[in-house]
Chains A and B, each alone.
Chain A
């Protein structure tokens, strides 16, 4: 009977230098720059906050530079999510887990936390020694300092996230004087805790045990997908891999003797942040971070042997076949992706300046008035989605002789971003024999500012 539960096997990733590591640092710098600085970017607007990106939940609108997103634009969100999903599927089908390896928050924040750990406790060997040593003052100090810096970064992360939901300078000032709303403290606190936990403590376990994407990625892989792989034929030869001492340093001699090019130095294993051996083949834990490629390339460079024993390749390429990138699958993801993107762009470009709906009052549907005419009532909801005040007139058309009665309301002035509900009564002296149901159109005509198209909303008039 074996163990049903497993304690975590600690991983001590070793640092590595190389082109993919540099690329990853560049992506990280860009992502951090955007995330941490964006809330502080000011933006000029005629109405509304002067913050470039602001998610105003109480006001129910999102400010994205010059774009204003309203709850009615929820379809945009749907489109964005579909675009992201399709993009993810397509990229993963073509190039494997590039999202995991280069862009995922988990990877980015874990990278930073590992860098902090390395700066304080030293590289792999030093950290392993430290963990084996007793609880000395030095160890306590180093561990404590690591967690303190981690918590600091985690706090900045949480606070920055919170700043996106309110005026950043004001909220930051209120935050440190104890005057911010409870939600701000709660959000920051929760994110500080989870960032520290996920990037500092749990790390690769998030990818292996929690992340659903890590698991369904395999569905999108095929034999043409770009993967990080060990070139087994080259590395193992016919007689298997051998260390430099066992197989010699001369490449030609090794190959002569059937010995593979892998010198079994274990560098690729030591740098792996998820603690696997890439030479065992493609594994679900692998986040395609490409650090083992950098590691092996470094080893090969030092030996002056050709690079690429561990490299980006595909299963077809490894088997000596051609890698096909333009396939029905790529088109199947690519065409809908293009369509949805165009649709979204069209929707954003054609955002209506106002939003109107008309619903007929149903109880009662119609009433007979003193003069013998029939009256129907309607509820008109209008929402000014622009950034300037707008004055509207309501008119009816499509039913000859119908008279609109809005009481004393002649024109409606809506402040930017303001909405209101109007009660409109329509009277109609029906000619004998008129059909029970008549079509009617409400026209919401902007009179100020001029030049805006009227919004037409169809409705009906019920006679009996």
Chain B
């Protein structure tokens, strides 16, 4: 590369003489002329023509709050209604999600799972993998606003779906029913029924059921009498052993899972007792809306399977 040679292919002009464009600055600065091939220029014009056609066909130029939409169009469907709009990638995505290959295959597999029995689905890794990824999307759209992503819930507001404790039952059938018809959970307030001493006693008893030591033994036995007796009648829903009753959505009181009050987060027994007492006095009323008219049976099936698996338990 040390020998300069000709700088360009077949440079016009005499050997040793470099051709310039003729532009001269400051008396002695000259511009060498290394001409571009002409076809290169034509290629450039071709790109210009390409963009003109593109602008004509597709959305291109913003104009005060709107934009040129182009003459190309796209057909798709929204809830079965045929739609037609100027070409845009959102409509393209919509159409792909309705009639694209992947969407069609997904719907087919969804149907296979919806028609299989629960045991088959729960024992098949491929079906489970599909359930977990497909239902996660539905869960995100319909459930996560309350139950939170992953189903952890919020104490006092929305139950945790990721543990193994179920108010209304954790079998796939029970969860399907919960989703389809919704649920109404109700525990009456005992403000009128109990005086402070009685409420404290029942609270002490309930905590002892869950294994919390440190309650006043006298309070516990008094509380037990109220719980099991006519006065409180708590056993009617929570059961003699405090195991709960799924048909009523009455929670099991013998474990240390608390959906309405943060008992495990409390620092002392007195604090825990106060939390339980207040709950007994004010009662609980919660509702989960029905989704039977918003989700298809197949969707409810995979969603229930997904939720069932989150934490396990029945």
Contact = CB atoms under 8 A, between A and B. Distances in A.
B193 interface: no
Nearest to B42: A5
B161 to A, nearest CB: 9
Contacts of B267: none
A40 interface: no
Interface in B91-150: 119, 122-123, 125-126, 128-129, 132-133, 148-150
Contact of A205 (B10, B37, B152): B37
B165 A370 contact: yes
Interface stretch (B66-74, B179-187, B306-314): B306-314
A248 interface: no
Contacts of B296: none
A6 interface: yes
Give the bracket for the number of chain B residues in contact with chain A. 35 or more
Given A208-B9, A276-B9, A375 B311 contact: yes
A336 B148 CA distance: 52
A367 B38 CA distance: 72
Given A283-B5, A315-B2, A423 B309 contact: yes
A221 to B, nearest CB: 6
Contacts of A218: 1
A363 B148 contact: yes
B129 A5 contact: no
Contacts of B278: none
B39 interface: yes
A371 B211 CA distance: 11
A4 B21 contact: yes
Interface in A1-23: 1-9
B3 A367 contact: no
B12 interface: yes
A324 interface: no
A296 to B, nearest CB: 18
Contacts of B83: none
Interface in B11-63: 12, 19-22, 33, 35-41
Interface in A149-171: none
Contacts of B35: 2-6
A407 interface: yes
A285 B33 contact: no
Nearest to B13: A2
B4 A2 contact: no
Contacts of A67: none
Contacts of B257: 368-370
A253 interface: no
Nearest to B252: A370
B165 A369 contact: yes
A443 interface: no
A223 B126 CA distance: 64
Contacts of A208: 9
Contact of B255 (A221, A280, A372, A421): A372
A155 B56 CA distance: 33
Contacts of B37: 5-8, 205, 209
A361 interface: yes
B241 interface: no
Interface string A361-403: 1111001111110010100000000000000000000000000
A223 B3 CA distance: 12
A238 interface: no
A4 B40 contact: no
B5 A2 contact: no
Contacts of A409: 123, 125, 128
A111 interface: no
A361 B19 CA distance: 71
A375 B1 CA distance: 71
B150 A361 contact: yes
Given A2-B12, A363-B150, A369 B5 contact: no
Nearest to B163: A367
A275 B41 CA distance: 22
Nearest to A363: B150
Contact of B4 (A8, A281, A367, A405): A281
Q: B10, B21, B40, B125 — which one has the most chain A CB atoms within 10 A of its CB?
A: B125
Contacts of B84: none
A307 to B, nearest CB: 22
A412 B41 CA distance: 62
A371 B256 CA distance: 8
Contacts of A245: none
B264 interface: yes
A367 B151 CA distance: 10
Max chain A CB contacts within 10 Å: which of B133, B152, B164? Answer: B164
Contact of B41 (A5, A223, A274): A5
A367 B264 CA distance: 12
A368 B313 CA distance: 12
Contact of B6 (A9, A280, A370, A408): A280
A439 B165 CA distance: 27
B178 interface: no
Contacts of B1: 218, 221, 282
B255 A370 contact: yes
B125 A412 contact: yes
Interface of B: 1-6, 9-10, 12, 19-22, 33, 35-41, 119, 122-123, 125-126, 128-129, 132-133, 148-152, 160, 162-165, 211, 252, 255-257, 264, 309-313
Interface of A: 1-9, 205, 208-209, 218, 221, 223, 274-276, 280-283, 285, 315, 361-364, 367-372, 375, 377, 405, 407-409, 412, 420-423, 425
13 contacts: A2-B12, A5-B40, A281-B4, A282-B2, A283-B6, A367-B163, A368-B256, A369-B257, A405-B312, A407-B309, A408-B119, A422-B128, A423-B132
Give 5 nearest A-B pairs by CB, closest first.
Answer: A281-B3, A363-B150, A364-B152, A6-B35, A370-B255
